[in-house]
Amino acid sequence: MTRTLSIAVAAVALLGLSACADTDPTLRRTGIGAGGGALAGAAIGSFSGNMGMGALIGAGAGAAGGLLYDYHRRSVQRAAQTGQAR
Q: Which domain holds residue 59?
A: 2-85
Give me the pLDDT at residue 64, please.
94
Vertex 63: Cα angle to 39 and 67 (nearest 5)? 145
Buried b or exposed e, range 14-37, using 16+ CB within 10 angstroms: eeeeeeeeeeeeeebbbbbbbbbb
Give me the pLDDT at residue 37, please.
92
Q: How many domains does the chain have?
A: 1
Low-confidence ranges of the chain (pLDDT < 50): none
Give me the pLDDT at residue 68, please.
95
Give me the pLDDT at residue 75, please.
92
